[in-house]
């Protein structure tokens, strides 16, 4: 019942979860009461980890299908879209906070050479930040999708010995 989604919808759901994580990361640390802040950090981490696992688990697959080309493409596709989404959020809303970092008040598009002084952001620095985020997301999303798909039906399946008395493990 849970796995009744097409690939596009699963990617969209995963990106919505990633967008919720970005939105939670935009809230300043001082907003949260000290008692609630550890729970917020755990929720935020879970929301950043969940999108590829959610998308890979939601897609309808054939009975024997574990890792087809479409699942090998799912991780990198979601990583590229999530990196673009993160870049758009940074450009037009503001940078997401590091867990204990400082958020710049202006969106990055205003900081790309328009502001003077220490708050100015070079285009190269912005592109490097987006490229670093893309690299991390590519590695994690690919590994998460592969592990989720393999764990769906068991990690390995062996048929042995080769003969009339075959046994599947």
The mean of the pLDDT values for the chain is 79
∠ CA 84-89-90, rounded to 5°: 95
Is residue 11 a contact partner of residue 54, using CB atoms and an 8 Å limit?
no
Higher pLDDT, 56 or 169: 56
Token pair, residue 22, equals: 């970005």
The structural domains of the chain, with segments of one domain joined by +, span: 7-168
Q: What is the mean pLDDT of residues 23-34?
A: 84
Lowest mean pLDDT among 14-18, 45-49, 101-105, 148-152: 101-105
Q: What is the pLDDT of residues 53-106, one digit of tens each?
A: 999 888 877 666 666 788 888 899 999 999 999 889 888 887 765 555 455 556
pLDDT exceeds cutoff 90 at 166:
no
Buried b (16+ CB within 10 A) or exposed e, 62-98: eeeebeeeebeebbbbbbebbbeebbebbbeebbbbe
Count Cβ atoms within 10 A of the Cβ of residue 107 and give its class: 0-12 exposed, 13-18 middle, 19 or more buried: middle
């Amino acid at each position: 019942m849970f796995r009744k989604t097409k690939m596009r919808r699963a990617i969209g759901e995963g990106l919505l979860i990633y967008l919720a994580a970005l939105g939670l990361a935009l809230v300043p640390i001082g907003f949260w009461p000290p008692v609630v802040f550890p729970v917020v950090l755990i929720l935020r981490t879970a929301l950043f980890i969940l999108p590829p696992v959610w998308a890979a688990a939601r897609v309808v697959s054939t009975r024997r299908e574990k890792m087809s080309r479409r699942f090998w493409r799912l991780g990198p596709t979601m990583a590229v879209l999530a990196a673009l989404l993160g870049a758009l959020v940074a450009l037009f809303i503001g940078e997401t906070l590091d867990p204990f970092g400082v958020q710049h008040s202006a969106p990055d598009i205003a900081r790309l050479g328009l502001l003077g002084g220490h708050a100015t952001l070079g285009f190269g620095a912005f592109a490097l930040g987006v490229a670093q985020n893309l690299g991390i997301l590519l590695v994690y999303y690919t590994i998460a999708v592969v592990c989720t798909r393999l764990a769906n039906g068991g990690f390995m399946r062996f048929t042995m010995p080769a003969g009339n008395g075959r046994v599947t493990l």
